[in-house]
């Protein structure tokens, strides 16, 4: 917008309508640049005009029920004696139909690069003491506390209120309070860095569908261990990533610069083809967040310390402005499809019964809804009822496509469930298969890859060993070659979709690809069967 000085009533209404539409498009967020002409010419406004324009913008935001935050101001050289400025303003409003904007960020990086500590500092609001105090609240198992290594997938939340201030566990807030007072939530998925937990890390990246990935590199060790591998995983799954160089308080400026140069060199290689953008000021952070969302080729790099707190604010500014990847239209299209929920975790909770955690990939799920879950070992689907839903540790009535949550299933027998199952609406008639074809690229293999080879296949939340039945048009594959391969699951059939991204691994062998064809087992043979819960009707 150029300027918004004392608009007429009609023009004001028009501007408000425009703002409503923009907020809806951006799922509750929009950035206004004041002092810029529609054709992108930086004209700038005088102090007085700028004040009047911001006042109008505040009135507009109040009318829509939004809050505004000034992101940055800049002086421009324009032919005039008066200094002229342009201002960027973030307008944020909590959409009426949901509690908050939700972004999922997976945290990757080599072992001991400071992933859990950084999350501890961001979500607890206290700096680390240099000996790992900040990460203690993130660990889920005793052996993790003893060894200081993450071996499971844990979730941490960081909120931003509509004014762009950080809402976290400081001031002794509970998770429910964070959810209530935030208009934007970032869920960090803390993954394991150690090589022996690689399958857990891959499972976290494929099944929890993160919007972005944060690659943490330690400034004093540089790119070591699993860093390249994690970078490759993010590239293979097409997850846009940004890089955080941690522990800058431990080493000299020259060492930090060396690590930055090392990263820039890798990012510019033909395989990556990314454009590194080093963030040194608030201004850079704002630019990085906007550019990053528009073109996935840009990779912002932050240098910070969890102990001294240096440059932590820049990361917070970046996360605050980071817009969601899908716009509201795409999400609405997903919501109109039939319900499909991926089961990623299974728990038994006292006095609640069986609880499953996962992501709703399409449709809408309500409390009390009847769904079917499967496939079981013999390819059947069982009926069940969703008793209650929790999202980010607070109760929720309706779950929409793309949101992660836990569903309580009441007295349903836990032993019938496993990771990799799906819960779908009964009318979906889901296709399951044991044999499927995929177009793959072999990333690394010591010898030749041929028929009869066994690999662990990851497709979304499905993780199972499969045998190579046939390689179309070739006898064997070598590193870097492409082919369509026919796989067969060795244990039980799974629910797959055509076009789903696929990763497979076995020792040092790694490959990526996508599912191209399914040999479906018809549901007539595997008809819907009953779980042995009391008082349930059979089909």
* Torsion sign (Cα): 276, 278, 284, 289: positive
Query: Which range is least confidently modeled, 144-153, 360-369, 521-530?
Result: 521-530
* 343-353 mean pLDDT: 91
Q: Give the percent of the chain with pLDDT over 70.
A: 95
Distance from C-alpha of 88 to C-alpha of 86, rounded to nearest angstrom: 7
pLDDT at 527 over 80: no
Does 29 have pLDDT greater than 90? no
Architecture in CATH for domain 101-325: 3-Layer(aba) Sandwich (3.40)
> Which pLDDT belongs to residue 98?
59
CA–CA distance, 108 with 110 (Å, rounded to integer): 7
Identify whether the C-beta of residue 35 lies closer than 8 Å to the C-beta of residue 2.
yes
Q: Which residues pair with 366 in a beta bridge?
A: 398
Please give the Cα distance from 77 to 79 (Å, whole number): 7
Residue among 431, 422, 360 at smallest CA distance from 396: 360
Tell me what pLDDT residue 455 has: 93
d(CA 414, CA 382): 12
pLDDT of residue 121: 92
Strand partners, 243: 215, 301
Summarize the confidence of residues 120-146 as an average pLDDT.
84
Predicted local distance difference test score (pLDDT) of residue 343: 93
Q: What average pLDDT does range 35-60 have in this prediction?
A: 88
Q: How many CB atoms lie within 10 A of CB 424?
A: 22
In this predicted structure, the answer to whether residue 401 has a pLDDT above a threshold of 90 is no
Gyration radius of the chain's alpha carbons: 25
Of residues 453, 467, 458, the one with CA closest to residue 200 = 458
Whether pLDDT at 317 is above 80: yes
Rounded Cα distance between 513 and 381, Å, is 28
9-93 architecture in CATH? 2-Layer Sandwich (3.30)
The CATH number fitting domain 432-520, selected from 2.30.40.10, 1.10.1040.10, 3.40.50.10490, 2.40.30.10: 2.40.30.10
List pLDDT tens digits, range 175-228: 888 887 888 889 999 998 888 888 889 888 888 889 999 999 999 998 887 898
User: Can you give the pLDDT at residue 429?
Assistant: 80
- Domain at 329-424, CATH class: mainly beta
pLDDT grade for 433, boundaries at 50, 70 and 90: very high
Domain map (residue ranges) of the chain: 9-93, 101-325, 329-424, 432-520
Residue 359: pLDDT band (50, 70, 90) is very high
Condensed to tens digits (0 to 9), the pLDDT of residues 75-93 reads 887 677 788 888 999 998 8
Q: SS3 for 139-180, per residue?
A: CCCHHHHHHCCCCCCEEEEEEECCCCCEECCCCCCCHHHHHH
What is residue 356's three-state secondary structure? strand
pLDDT tens, position by position, 319-346: 999 988 776 777 788 889 999 999 999 9
As a three-state string, the secondary structure of 207-266 is HCCCCEEEEEEECCCCCCCCHHHHHHHHHHCCCCEEEEEECHHHCCHHHHHHHHHHHHHH
Q: Using 50, 70 and 90 to split pLDDT, how confident is the model at 516?
A: very high
Of the pLDDT bands very low, low, confident and very high (cuts 50, 70, 90), residue 533 is very low
In the numeric block, the tokens 């630019």 are attached to: 287
Give the single-character DSSP code of 325: S
- Report the pLDDT averaged over residues 247-257: 93
pLDDT exceeds cutoff 50 at 235: yes
**Contact by Cβ (8 Å): 422, 341:** yes
- The b-or-e profile of 200-211 (16+ CB within 10 A means b, else e) is bbbbbbbbbbbb
Residue 479: name the closest of 439, 447, 436 by CA: 447
List residues bridging with 164 in a β-sheet: none
Check if 329-424 and 432-520 are the same fold: yes
Neighbour-count burial for 159-170, b at 16+ CB within 10 Å, e otherwise: bbbbebebbbbe
Q: How confident is the model at residue 97 (pLDDT cuts 50, 70, 90)?
A: low
pLDDT at 423: 94
pLDDT recorded at residue 523: 54
Q: Which residue has the tokens 């993780």?
A: 463
User: pLDDT by residue (tens digit) across 446-484?
Assistant: 788 889 999 999 998 899 999 999 999 888 888 889 999
Handedness of CA 421, 423, 428, 429 (dihedral sign): positive
């Amino acid at each position: 917008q150029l300027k918004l000085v004392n608009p007429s009533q009609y023009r004001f209404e028009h501007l408000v309508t425009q703002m409503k539409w923009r907020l809806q498009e951006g799922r509750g967020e929009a950035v206004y640049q004041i002092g810029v002409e529609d054709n992108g010419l930086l004209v700038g406004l005088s102090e007085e005009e700028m004040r009047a324009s911001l006042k109008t913008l505040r009135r507009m935001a109040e009318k829509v029920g939004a809050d505004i935050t000034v992101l940055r101001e800049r002086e421009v050289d324009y032919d005039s004696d008066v200094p002229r400025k342009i201002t960027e303003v973030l307008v944020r409003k909590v959409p009426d139909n949901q509690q908050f904007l939700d972004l999922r960020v997976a945290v990757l990086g080599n072992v001991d690069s400071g992933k859990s500590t950084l999350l501890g500092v961001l979500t607890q609001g206290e700096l680390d003491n240099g000996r790992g105090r900040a990460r203690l609240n993130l660990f889920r198992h005793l052996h993790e506390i003893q060894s200081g290594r993450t071996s499971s997938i844990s979730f941490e939340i960081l909120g931003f209120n509509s004014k762009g201030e950080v809402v976290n566990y400081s001031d002794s807030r509970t998770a429910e309070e964070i959810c209530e007072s935030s208009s934007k939530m970032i869920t960090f998925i803390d993954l394991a860095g150690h090589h022996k937990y690689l399958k857990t890390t891959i499972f976290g990246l494929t099944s929890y569908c993160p919007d972005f990935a944060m690659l943490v590199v330690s400034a004093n060790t540089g790119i070591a261990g699993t860093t390249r591998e994690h970078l490759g995983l993010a590239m293979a799954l097409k997850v846009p990533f940004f890089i955080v160089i941690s522990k800058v308080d431990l080493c000299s400026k020259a060492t930090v610069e060396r690590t930055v140069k090392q990263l820039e060199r890798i990012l510019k290689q033909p395989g990556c083809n990314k454009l590194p953008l080093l963030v040194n000021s608030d201004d850079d952070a704002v630019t990085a967040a906007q550019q990053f969302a528009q073109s996935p080729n840009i990779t912002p790099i932050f240098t910070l310390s969890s102990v001294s707190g240096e440059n932590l604010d820049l990361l917070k500014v970046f996360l605050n402005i980071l817009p969601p990847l899908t716009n509201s239209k795409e999400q609405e299209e997903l919501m109109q499809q039939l319900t499909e929920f991926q089961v990623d975790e299974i728990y038994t909770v006292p006095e609640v019964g069986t609880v499953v955690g996962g992501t709703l990939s399409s449709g809408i799920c309500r409390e009390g809804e009847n769904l079917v879950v499967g496939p079981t070992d013999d390819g059947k689907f069982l009926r069940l009822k969703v008793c209650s839903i929790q999202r980010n540790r607070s109760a929720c009535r309706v779950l929409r496509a793309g949101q992660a949550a836990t569903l309580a299933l009441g007295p349903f027998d836990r032993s019938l469930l496993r990771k990799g199952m799906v819960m779908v609406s009964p009318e979906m008639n889901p296709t399951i298969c044991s044999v499927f074809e995929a177009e793959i690229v072999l990333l690394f293999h010591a010898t030749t890859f041929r028929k009869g080879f066994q690999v662990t296949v990851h497709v979304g939340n499905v993780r199972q060993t499969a045998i190579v039945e046939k390689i179309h048009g070739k006898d064997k594959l070598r590193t870097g070659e492409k082919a369509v391969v026919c796989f067969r699951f060795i244990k039980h059939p799974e629910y797959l979709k055509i076009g789903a991204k696929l990763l497979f691994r076995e020792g040092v062998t790694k490959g990526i690809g996508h599912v191209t064809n399914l040999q479906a087992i018809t549901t007539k043979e595997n008809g819907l069967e009953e779980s042995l819960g009391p008082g349930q009707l059979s089909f």
